[in-house]
């Protein structure tokens, strides 16, 4: 395999794992609330990240990179943004279909491209920019039910989903910046090190928050440890692949290809959540596939 294209299977694996994690967290939201379900991906994912770092360290014999001030700024920004993004996404999922809210959050690639250009200097070719716009248009089309508007079920889930996408975009840029700021080591060791720091910070922040303001949700998350453990594992697995993708290419490339998650979410909605697929959603999915295909052609 051409190693320059390794980010493609890595991103597809991340999207698959994240779809499973989102579905698991959506069910947990009904039991332990939005904040409680938000923190399980971090609290229960952190041990798996530590295991992954230990395995990578033993397998490669590489030293764990030492963090610096720039790394801490980027990883903290990424950690906080991802917490906000996850909470807003789960809140919106309580009011709209799983696949539709996933689509709202996937306005993210355009925002990632802009943030990446401004904050990290990641460049875009005209073809890649067009691919991002086409795929994002597919997300927007897919989000509208036939005969209805984007706000047909109220503005709150729409705004929550779109703002969630913005925070996911900032998280992607923050974590890519953190990975790049670790000057030494392979892409794998730098990505895994960043994952451990990110999940560790997120776990500490949410444990303190819940301990102070929502002990009931914290206790409930411990009681629901079986499904929470599954969500944590899938979250850590997805993040491992996301971070490796960020180490290999621009965040815009990764997050645009990640739009295949919308198609995976649609399959989950249809198979497990008994949510039908409309003709407009099919058109949107075709545009997403077209945009992703154009992106991949631009990389060849």
The three state secondary structure string of 111-154 is HHHHHHHHHHCCCCCHHHHHHHHHHHHHHHHHHCCCCCCCCCCC
Cut 0.85: pTM above it: no
Intervals of the chain under pLDDT 70: 1-4, 93-103, 143-155, 157, 265, 268-277, 299-300
Total residue count of the chain as it appears in this document: 300
Burial of 8 (0-12, 13-18, 19+ CB in 10 A): buried
Integer-rounded Cα radius of gyration of the chain: 18
- pLDDT at residue 155, rounded to an integer: 66
- pLDDT at residue 9, rounded to an integer: 92
Angstrom distance (rounded) from CA 110 to CA 127: 14
Contact 292, 135 (CB under 8 A): yes
């Amino acid at each position: 395999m051409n190693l320059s294209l390794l980010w493609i299977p890595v991103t597809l694996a991340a999207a698959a794992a994240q779809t499973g994690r989102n579905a698991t967290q959506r069910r947990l939201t009904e039991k332990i609330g939005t904040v409680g379900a938000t923190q399980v991906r971090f609290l229960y994912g952190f041990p798996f990240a530590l295991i992954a770092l230990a395995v990578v360290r033993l397998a490669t014999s590489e030293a764990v990179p030492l963090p610096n001030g720039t790394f801490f700024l980027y990883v903290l920004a990424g950690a906080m943004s991802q917490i906000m993004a996850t909470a807003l996404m789960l809140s919106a999922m309580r009011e709209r279909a799983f696949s539709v809210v996933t689509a709202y959050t996937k306005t993210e690639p355009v925002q990632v491209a802009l943030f990446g250009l401004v904050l990290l200097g990641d460049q875009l070719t005209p073809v890649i920019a067009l691919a991002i716009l086409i795929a994002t248009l597919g997300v927007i089309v897919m989000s509208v039910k036939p005969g209805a508007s984007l706000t047909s079920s109220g503005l709150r889930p729409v705004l929550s989903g779109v703002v969630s996408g913005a925070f996911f975009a900032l998280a992607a840029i923050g974590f890519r910046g953190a990975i790049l700021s670790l000057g030494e080591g392979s892409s794998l060791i730098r990505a895994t090190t960043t994952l451990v720091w990110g999940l560790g910070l997120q776990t500490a922040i949410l444990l303190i928050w819940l301990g102070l303001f929502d002990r009931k949700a914290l206790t409930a998350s411990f009681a629901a440890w079986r499904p929470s453990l599954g969500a944590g594992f899938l979250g850590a697995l997805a993040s491992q692949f996301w971070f490796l993708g960020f180490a290999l290419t621009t965040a815009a490339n990764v997050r645009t290809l990640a739009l295949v998650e919308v198609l995976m979410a649609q399959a989950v909605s249809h198979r497990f959540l008994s949510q039908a697929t409309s003709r407009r959603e099919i058109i949107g999915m075709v545009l997403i596939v077209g945009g992703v295909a154009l992106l991949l052609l631009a990389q060849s």
